[in-house]
Structure 1
């Protein structure tokens, strides 16, 4: 059964293009604009640190979205939404638990979010993993990208707490992720299990940049933690497939997917595909000391900054849709900044965007607009768009701590 995640993302491809600029120097476009805001927030809110803002967004979500031990998909509710959020937005709350704990908040937050995660665990006999909706709601699809973002947070929780449960569960989920690769189209991963080795046609019979990049990142991290060669071999192979098959050589960014039946490439580009290839490339550089991985990550970062930013009302903004995708790119820039000082400039633009959003792109309930410039509310009601801000403020707070 194909969950509504498919319907949502397919419509996304038609309705939202990538907002970007082809000019390699965004700064050259920047004109002096009016920086005043129509609805400035109270002075006491303006004075919050990024760490405190991360916690404030978390508290807002608890107030508006909490449903039992889980969360609602949207607030206010939208037509046809499920009883509980799908796994994808729930993972945004796992990230919140990790980043808030790393910032020094009570571990009870982390424990609560990971406890709730188990509602999605399909403990089947072959390749158990997390499914798209809570198991109490019935069987749903098993997505390779969903499992990968869960694995990323399990790995992070293990690094933060040392609890072996998280590493063992990450190993289990990684086995499922690795099963998504086969030799069709030369390699790469399918999007979800239901349309994998047996598919012959249709839009979902394809190999995807996001699943392949996530898989390369997760397995390279697993190698760093376990030193098990199977993970390194897999990470290198899938990274190379993505690089050679779905990278646009004109700008070092990544097309979305390649259809198996037609061999046609879906040329739309998303911030998170660039982000995960940057992050996987940095991991592989750290593992191998091969400078090419780092060079490729830097080339993608340069182009991502150029292509995924534009000038809005006199200020540089990253694309004004898909907040969570954009925050993945922020996290990638922070990881890369250890090796590339130019990346600090890209992070600074993100920080200015986030500060602007705090002042000028929130509604009366404290929810952030999807468009951080404040010009359009967009899909502000979706849990994932709100959870993205916890990660954004938290990642920046940790980055600032490391800079001081």
Structure 2
């Protein structure tokens, strides 16, 4: 600038493991709907994950749709603009791809990608997508935004075989790759406006998200095109992120390193772990170098330990930033092909999202940011709702629905 219940014996063991992180104050605030109504109401009809993905998409259409685009929030928040920024819009691209992959009409995919054109800055040098629709004036171009767009363009190409998507992904990837230079030894800036000659300030930095996303996109492009420039770039940026922003104590990733102060922002996010797992898997598949897979597995183990805790006898992933968390779900699903423990991590995610369906939605059908149902959080943000379309869709694909 997202089931299968745990066996009692597993929960009992995990309670022992995670009891030190359980917060009694949170547990006391939890609401059990079956106790509130005495358990007399009949159970809601059970929907498949595929159906839940579509139902969530339809809710978004009803509440957030604004012409060909979407509103940033529902209800509207103070100071927001007419349309959403690019980041939450990309969540709807993912929704279009996943719903089509699940067998729904291709018109959904087409509609979302047609709307994406509103953000495309077709400038003469390094055209890419900007942060807000071009009709609203010029805004900056973020390397991480462009990377998540490129991921969806690549997926749309794989699903439809329409060469437009691959051609556009090539252009966007060229922009992404321009965000790397040798300052701080490598890595990518956060956005273009800070990529030339910045010397101080919080945004003058090299970031884990931009670098890990860039490495992943480049591996995907290499697998599609066999163009070695992508693989060379991906390995270099992956290695920089691993060597510069990895915490060796747990194999998770710090957020960024500031160029002016050379200080590291030690915040750790689920999506940074996710993208390094996914990049590592791709590099393993390309090179057959076991070390990449070992690194991915080590990060997955640490991410599950770091980003889960027990609330009211259930394991939940962190109760904020739903879209970040769903990136981790995607990584675990990809890793499960090589690592059986990752299936366990996926099952906890599926348990979380099914619990959220019953216990963490408001009267409009919007999901709370906190899937445990304890706090609504930023439920009004489009991205947090789009994350659930992706989550249910990925669960459905994982379960071969």
Structure 2 contact 31–374 (Cα < 8 Å) conserved: no
Q: 1:37 aligns with which of 25, 33, 36?
A: 33
Native 8 Å contact 1:129 1:172 kept in 2:
yes
In the TM superposition, structure 1's runs of 4+ consecutive aligned residues that sit over 2 Å from their partners are 25-46
Q: Aligned residue for 1:108?
A: 107
Q: Is contact 1:282-1:336 (8 Å) kept?
A: yes
CA distance in 2, matches of 1:73, 1:175: 28
Cα shift at 1:87: 0.1
Distance 2:129 2:235 in 1: 25
- Equivalent residue runs for 1:206-221 within 5 Å: 206-221=205-220
Q: Distance in 1 between matches of 2:373 and 2:139?
A: 36
Residue 181 of structure 1: aligned partner: 180
Cα pair 2:190 2:210 within 8 Å, conserved: yes
Q: Is the 8 A contact 1:370 1:376 kept in 2?
A: yes
Aligned counterparts of 1:36 and 1:84: Cα–Cα separation in 2: 37
Question: What SS class does the counterpart of residue 373 from structure 1 fall into?
Answer: coil
**Counterpart for residue 233 of structure 1:** 232
The 5 A counterparts of 1:76-87 are 76-87=75-86
Q: Does 1:384 align with 2:380?
A: no
Aligned position for 1:66: 65
1:123 aligns with 2:126: no
Whole-Å separation in 2 of the counterparts to 1:293 and 1:199? 33
Displacement, 1:313? Answer: 1.3
Map Cα deviations across residues 277-301 of structure 1 (whole Å, 9 max, x no partner): 0000000000000000000000000
Separation of aligned partners in 1, 2:265 and 2:165: 35
Q: Secondary structure at the match of 2:179?
A: coil
Task: Give, in angstroms, the shift of residue 43 of structure 1.
Answer: 5.9
After TM superposition, the structure 1 = structure 2 runs for residues 1-400 of structure 1, keeping only pairs within 5 Å, are: 26-29=14-17, 36-38=32-34, 45-400=44-399
Matched with 2:4 is none
Residue 401 of structure 1 aligns to a residue in which SS? coil
Aligned length: 379
Question: Structure 2: any 5+ residue segments left out of the alignment?
Answer: 2-12
d(CA) in 1 for partners of 2:44, 2:270: 30
8 Å contact kept, 1:75–1:382: yes
* Cα shift readout 1:152-192 (whole Å, capped 9, x = no counterpart): 00000000000000000000000000000000000000000
Contact 1:281–1:294 under 8 Å retained in 2 = yes
Residue deviations 1:52-90, cap 9 Å, x none? 000000000000000000000000000001110000000
| Partner Cα distance (1:177, 1:45) in 2 | 46
- Contact preservation (8 Å) 1:317, 1:349: yes
Q: Which residue of 2 aligns with 1:11?
A: none
| C-alpha spacing 1:303/1:107, structure 2 compared with 1 (3 Å) | same
* Residues 46 and 359 in structure 1, CA contact (< 8 A), matched pair in contact too: no
Deviations 1:168-220 (A, max 9, x none): 00000000000000000000000000011210110100000000000000000
Task: Output the CA distance in 2 between the equivalents of 1:27 and 1:209.
Answer: 32
Distance 2:233 2:165 in 1: 21
Question: Retained in 2: the 8 A contact 1:30–1:314?
Answer: no
Alignment partners' CA distance in 1, 2:392 and 2:214: 26
C-alpha distance in structure 2 between counterparts of 1:385 and 1:131, whole Å:
21
Q: Residue 87 of structure 1 contacts residue 131 of structure 1 at CA under 8 Å; is this kept in 2?
A: yes
- Give a deviation string over 1:358-398, Cα, whole Å, max 9, x none: 00000000000000000000000000000000000000100
- CA distance in 2 between counterparts of 1:26 and 1:382 reads 32
Contact kept, 8 Å, 1:182 with 1:197, in 2: the verdict is no
TM-score (normalizing by structure 1): 0.91
CA distance in structure 1 between the aligned counterparts of 2:197 and 2:16, rounded to whole angstroms: 50
